[in-house]
Amino acid sequence: MEPASLRDAFPVLDEVAYLNAGTCGPVPAAAAAAVQDTLRIAATDGRWSPYFERMIDLQARQRALYAARIGARPQDVALTTSTSDGIVRVLAGLDLGPEDEIVTSDEEHPGLLGPLAATARRVGLRVRTVPFEAVAEAVTSATALVACSHVSWVGGKVAPAALAEVAASGVPVLLDGAQGAGAIEVDVAALGCAFYAGSGQKWLCGPVGTGFLYVHPDWRERLAAIGPTYMNLEQPSAGLEARPHADARRYDTPALSAEASAHAVAAGEVLVEHGGWDAALRRARDLAERFAAALVQHGREPEPRGPTTLVSWREDDAPGFVRRAAAHRIVIRDLPGRGLVRASIGAWNDERDLDRLLALLA
């Protein structure tokens, strides 16, 4: 791994201690160039067959890239606009009834909680909230779905390994992978999950408006494609007889620009170009671990966490601390209502970024 060369791929890091990939990852210069190039072709040549062929090729590469990051086959991965979009597609597409129960945790993001609440109201089902650590043992015979984070956005804990046994028992598990995909190793087969929703704009450094949804092939017939439109249909010209694609393309978002896919693909290439994906994951995890240890030296108590890329801790005035950091060109965030600030640490960061943040704690 050559951390210096990976870091050099991200112009923002020249000046800014950017520690905010849990919201949006840094944008590589190569991705910005790929977007400009795609837009230039659109502007100068027009948007007709060659532009659409380019778009379709880019989308295939984007799908393959996401699949590789989670150990899946491309045909089991749909292109969405966000983690939340993938979650909505699962909750709307499952055949849920008033007698069903969904188990979730007390550390979930509004991207999951909003769709869960809407589903509960629409269907009349019950959502049961339990501690994050207890989601597996909370399953009962009424549980139709477990829906929780793979990595908690609060402090970076990892979902219990026992969820794989839940999945093996036949209860589908929907993992919100917003803080998992691109941040830690993800192997959907080992997780056993039926569904894994991820973001393109966070740890994969893609554009806002990209993401993916993995659907285990066993669930494809049981998860309705809620709005198969032009791009989701095998033969769009067949009118009312047109059927959705047999594979996960049936769940694709109806519109995804070539510019967005060009950014996503170029970013994905940058992330593996500098020493490989496994080394990048290890580096990010180790840096985060070192930062958590250094926090203790500075009199702060990191929130309970796992071997992930998020580190959170309490500040008396968390929003004020984030503003003070921003004034020093350090980008972190606070978690509203929890009194916590959170640093997101990627393989592109180095000790200088961490030291700048630690200096504010002295």
Q: Which residues of this chain interact with ligand PLP, rule CB under 6 A? A: 23, 82-84, 109, 111-112, 149, 153, 176, 178-179, 199, 211
HSE at residue 332, side-chain half, CA atoms within 13 A, is 31
Task: For residue 280, count CB atoms less than 10 angstroms from its CB and return exposed for 0-12, middle for 13-18, buried for 19 or more.
Answer: buried
Which residues touch 273 (CB under 8 Å, ≥6 apart)?
A: 6, 9
Question: CB 141 → ligand PLP: shortest distance, Å?
Answer: 28
Question: CB 109 → ligand PLP: shortest distance, Å?
Answer: 3
Task: For residue 131, count CB atoms less than 10 angstroms from its CB and return exposed for 0-12, middle for 13-18, buried for 19 or more.
Answer: exposed
Which CB sits closer to ligand PLP, 3 or 209? 209
Which CB sits closer to ligand PLP, 3 or 212? 212
3-state class (DSSP) for residue 3? helix
Question: CB 344 → ligand PLP: shortest distance, Å?
Answer: 10
Question: CB 345 → ligand PLP: shortest distance, Å?
Answer: 15
Which CB sits closer to ligand PLP, 105 or 232? 105
To which H or E segment does residue 145 belong? strand 143-149
Which CB sits closer to ligand PLP, 83 or 119? 83
Question: CB 247 → ligand PLP: shortest distance, Å?
Answer: 23
Which CB sits closer to ligand PLP, 155 or 211? 211
324 touches 301 (CB < 8 A) = no
Helices (H), 274-336: 277-297, 318-327
